[in-house]
């Protein structure tokens, strides 16, 4: 049997392992994430920063219509890479989980608990026939008990916590910058500039104020918010100088 034909028997069904222990459909979903736009998350001394490249592919496109950073709850934000529709579905589920927790326990949901719930949900789609894995990865940033948390998910349901990380097509370039220059003690403004530098390297300099979106959680307010276009522009100008 030819090697390609041999593989085809295993990559058509999500529930079948290949002889070498691989789930090809999950690996293909990871490839969908790797082809997505770059997103970075950075913990710093006074909060967390999420930065995404929106990769505007046409001058006819309205950049504001591309949403890659989402408010989940007042203390949690998410950045996505991969299939946008899949990301929106997970974001809706995350928002519902946050509201269920408020109604049931009259308190904000723990960031790690939410991340695990989402990953448990994503993992179930690797076990049933007739469904496909989510073709998206998320950076989940939030504050619980005064502590900043940053989690990365992938289509298999794997959950990892990072000080700084990136997802999408530019992940390797982003991680190289972070490995060399990341400093947890740096203030938020320096973390944003570092994130822009990493994004600049990942996109080979092809970004401007219209293609960058920034979300932040400040430790003192414990509130997630997206920066305005003017705020983003000021940081992009400082970086370019």
**Which domain CATH number covers 211?**
3.60.20.10
pLDDT at residue 5 is higher than 80: no
User: Does pLDDT of 227 surpass 50?
Assistant: yes
Domain containing residue 166? 21-27+36-240
Query: Is-contact 143 219, C-beta < 8 A?
Result: yes
What pLDDT is attached to residue 122? Answer: 96
3-state secondary structure 68-130: CEEEEECCEEEEEEECHHHHHHHHHHHHHHHHHHHHHHCCCCCHHHHHHHHHHHHHHCCCCCC
Q: Where does residue 234 rank: exposed (0-12), middle (13-18), buried (19+ CB within 10 A)?
A: middle
Task: Name 116's Cβ contacts closer than 8 Å, sequence gap at least 6.
Answer: 159
How many domains, the chain? 1
- Counting runs of H as helices and runs of E as strands, what totals does the chain give? 7, 10
Note whether residue 196 is domain-resident.
yes
What's the confidence (pLDDT) of residue 8? 61
Residue 239 has pLDDT above 60, yes or no: yes
Give domain status of residue 161, yes or no.
Answer: yes
pLDDT of residue 7: 58
With a cut of 60, say whether residue 91 has pLDDT above it. Answer: yes
| Cα 50 from chain centre | 8
Q: Is the pLDDT of residue 9 over 90?
A: no
Q: Is residue 83 part of a domain?
A: yes
pTM passes above 0.75:
yes
Q: Which of these, 45, 88, 93, 95, lies nearest to 68 by C-alpha position?
A: 88
Cα Rg of the chain (Å, integer): 19
Give pLDDT, residue 2: 45
- Residues 241 and 98: their CA atoms lie apart, in Å, by 41
* Angstrom distance (rounded) from CA 235 to CA 199: 13
- The reply to whether 12 falls in a domain is no
In this structure, is residue 1 part of a structural domain? no
State both tokens at 195.
């994130």
In a domain, 144, yes or no: yes
Structural domain includes residue 61: yes
Q: Residues 215-241: what's their mean pLDDT?
A: 93
Q: Is residue 181 part of a domain?
A: yes
Distance (Å, rounded) from C-alpha 198 to C-alpha 100? 37
Q: How confident is the model at residue 4 (pLDDT cuts 50, 70, 90)?
A: low
Instruction: Provide the mean pLDDT of the chain.
Output: 92
């Amino acid at each position: 049997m030819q090697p390609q034909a041999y593989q085809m028997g295993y990559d058509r069904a999500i529930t079948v392992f290949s002889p070498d222990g691989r789930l090809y459909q999950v690996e293909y979903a990871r490839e969908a994430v790797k082809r997505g736009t770059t997103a970075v998350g950075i913990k710093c001394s006074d909060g967390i920063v999420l930065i995404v490249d929106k990769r505007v592919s046409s001058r006819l496109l309205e950049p504001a219509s591309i949403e890659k950073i989402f408010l989940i709850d007042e203390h949690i934000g998410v950045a996505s890479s991969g299939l946008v529709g899949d990301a929106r579905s997970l974001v809706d589920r995350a928002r519902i989980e946050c509201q269920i927790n408020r109604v049931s326990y009259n308190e904000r949901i723990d960031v790690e608990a939410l991340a695990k719930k989402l990953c448990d949900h994503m993992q179930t789609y690797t076990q049933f026939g007739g469904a496909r894995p989510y073709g998206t990865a998320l950076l989940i940033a939030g504050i619980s008990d005064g502590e900043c948390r940053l989690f990365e998910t992938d289509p298999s349901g794997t959950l990892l916590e990072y000080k700084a990380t990136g997802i999408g097509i530019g992940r390797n370039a982003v991680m190289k910058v972070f490995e060399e220059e990341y400093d947890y003690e740096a203030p938020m403004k320096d973390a944003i500039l570092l994130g822009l530098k990493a994004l600049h390297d990942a996109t080979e300099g092809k970004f401007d104020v219209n293609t960058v979106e920034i979300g932040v959680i400040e430790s003192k307010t414990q509130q997630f918010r997206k920066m305005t276009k003017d705020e983003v522009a000021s940081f992009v100008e400082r970086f370019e100088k």
